[in-house]
Amino acid sequence: MQLATRIVLGERGAMGDLPIQIEGEGRDGACVLVCEHASNAMPALWGDLGLNDAQRAAHIAWDPGALGLARALAETLDAPLAAACQSRLIYDLNRPPHHPGAMPARSETTDIPGNQSLTAQDKLARTETLYLPFHAELRALIARRLARGTMPVLITVHSFTPVYFGKPRTVELGVIHDADPSLAQAFLHEAQSQTSLDTRLNEPYSAADDVTHTLALHATPLGLPHVMLELRNDLIADEASQVAMAAILAPVLRAAIARLNQQAGEAA
Amino acid sequence: MQLATRIVLGERGAMGDLPIQIEGEGRDGACVLVCEHASNAMPALWGDLGLNDAQRAAHIAWDPGALGLARALAETLDAPLAAACQSRLIYDLNRPPHHPGAMPARSETTDIPGNQSLTAQDKLARTETLYLPFHAELRALIARRLARGTMPVLITVHSFTPVYFGKPRTVELGVIHDADPSLAQAFLHEAQSQTSLDTRLNEPYSAADDVTHTLALHATPLGLPHVMLELRNDLIADEASQVAMAAILAPVLRAAIARLNQQAGEAA
């Protein structure tokens, strides 16, 4: 079932300022999906940050393929999806406002001219226009489920570049957790037995690299099962491969959640 | 300096629906203070929950004395104060929406008639009108400081009843932490050397009793130093004793923060 997409306006109300798009808000599955790096859009309010087209299309500006994968997964799992509407270079929604990576002056080997000399006021404006509404809406999406008596499973969907600082990466699927490793471990087990993907726990990043801010804000304080999925972006470069990957990962996720529920049942 | 009080309206906009009052938002000290159980007001929207005047004045409905203490502390420390505007029996802002204590059917020995048969829709309405705006505004208050490059210290201010389930409590000041014990330990040390208060760590409650939700939402994910102060309410029963207690606790808090900063400096 395709439900209406709800657009949540930022404080300034202009189209370019959308901090978040929620798709399938009324879907009733066990999961809530999040894609913080869904878009490489640079709304007019902030301009192009001094980057050329190639730089704006690169992984430094977004997670290529992640939105298509997240959408296909969300539809298969009957889950709502909260996705960002602007480039992570304007504000990286998976970082807190004081983190150097929230509005980075440099990403991998690229200087970001528009982020070189941000004042406290500039940072405050991006925080208030993008970060706060995104996370307030995501909190509301989760809290509405809690108030109805269901504890959602939080899944964040990301992609990573096959070559980083000149070094190729062989890992294909990274399975990352915040404080509670249980769903990530169950997912790893299922992925390794159900798929041929080179799947690894807490690679190419882990919580120690500050990449689990969304999970730390929304899953850990509420004790929600959670996992961050990181796909190597060459595996999800077009819509067909994104849909195919979702068809591989959805049963893995379902089996991992069932395994977790079974463990909880045995412990009870 | 007494700054203007900013009132943040809930979704319905009526006076009775205020979820939060922020005092001294522009104050520039190191701390942000929170008083989730500041008020025993029961706005018309929800009625009196079937309780009589004595029940509505009792500790089950709020933390008597906590707001006066928090206000005096906030002024002394030049800190903003975020305080609730309605009774914890309508929504306990220090509990997540799925917690049985968020909209409790019973508190200590008192049944709460208006909370006996809440539907999912009732719980959702209170969550959206009270819990979500309160924590969104508190998050914004903190995030604005982070965007300016300062890491605030988060202090929640509570009071507890001298007699609970018929049993007297001898502890006078409880010092409670969420994940990071460092400020609580420093505060305990300073309180025990500077005051004659019977001060104890993680009494009469601790994080294991689910009493640190605000700290878990706002301090722990950001690595903010934090402490929850619990005063026995007979020690802060009137304005004079609240002001006097603030005069005792403010130097303790300052010394504890200085001790923490010194430790951080030595570790760096």
Question: How far A40 CA lies from chain B's nearest CA (Å)?
Answer: 23
User: What are the structure tokens assigned to B142, written together?
Assistant: 């903190």
The answer to whether residue B96 neighbours chain A at the CB level (below 8 Å) is yes
Find out whether B17 and B43 touch, Cβ atoms under 8 Å: yes
Does pLDDT of B73 surpass 50?
yes
φ, ψ dihedrals at B86, nearest 5°? -145, 165
| CB burial readout A88-106, b (16+ within 10 A) else e | bbbbbbbbbbbeebbbbee
Residue B255 class from Cβ within 10 Å (0-12 exposed, 13-18 middle, 19+ buried)? middle
Does pLDDT of B1 surpass 60?
no
Q: From chain A, pick out residues whose CB is under 8 angstroms from the CB of B221.
A: 96, 213, 216-217, 220-221
Q: What total number of domains does chain B contain? A: 1
Q: What is the pLDDT of residues B182-195, one digit of tens each?
A: 999 999 999 999 99
The answer to whether residue B101 neighbours chain A at the CB level (below 8 Å) is no
The answer to whether residue A180 neighbours chain B at the CB level (below 8 Å) is no
Each residue's pLDDT, cut to its tens digit, for chain A (268 residues) gives 233 334 443 333 333 457 899 999 999 999 999 999 999 999 888 899 999 999 999 999 999 999 999 999 999 999 999 999 999 999 999 999 999 999 999 999 999 999 999 999 999 999 999 999 999 999 999 999 999 999 999 999 999 999 999 999 999 999 999 999 999 999 999 999 999 999 999 999 999 999 999 999 999 999 999 999 999 999 999 999 999 999 999 999 999 999 999 988 888 7
Find out whether B39 and B84 touch, Cβ atoms under 8 Å: yes
With CB atoms and an 8 Å threshold, state whether A144 touches B124. yes
With CB atoms and an 8 Å threshold, state whether A221 touches B220. yes
Q: What is the pLDDT of residues B126-156, one digit of tens each?
A: 999 999 999 999 999 999 999 999 999 999 9
Question: How far A149 CA lies from chain B's nearest CA (Å)?
Answer: 6
**Closest-CA residue to A260 (of A151, A171, A174, A173):** A151
With CB atoms and an 8 Å threshold, state whether A144 touches B127. yes
Nearest CB among A123, A146, A216 relative to B96 is that of A146
The answer to whether residue A222 neighbours chain B at the CB level (below 8 Å) is yes
User: How far apart are alpha carbons A217 and A178 in whole angstroms?
Assistant: 10
CATH number at residue B259: 3.40.630.40
Strands B110-111, A153-160: pairing kind? unpaired
Question: How far A217 CA lies from chain B's nearest CA (Å)?
Answer: 6
Nearest CB among A96, A128, A139 relative to B222 is that of A96
- pLDDT of amino acid A17: 53
Range list of H helices, chain A: 53-57, 66-77, 120-126, 132-147, 182-194, 213-218, 239-267
- pLDDT of amino acid B17: 53
- Calculate the alpha carbon distances from A90 to A68, A87, A173, B113 in Å: 21, 6, 26, 50
Q: From chain B, pick out residues whose CB is under 8 angstroms from the CB of A128.
A: 140, 143-144
The answer to whether residue B13 neighbours chain A at the CB level (below 8 Å) is no
Q: Which domain holds residue B145?
A: 5-267
Question: How far A75 CA lies from chain B's nearest CA (Å)?
Answer: 25
Three state DSSP letters for A8-31: ECCCCCCHHHCCEEEECCCCCCCE
Q: How many A/B residue pairs have CB atoms within 8 Å? A: 84
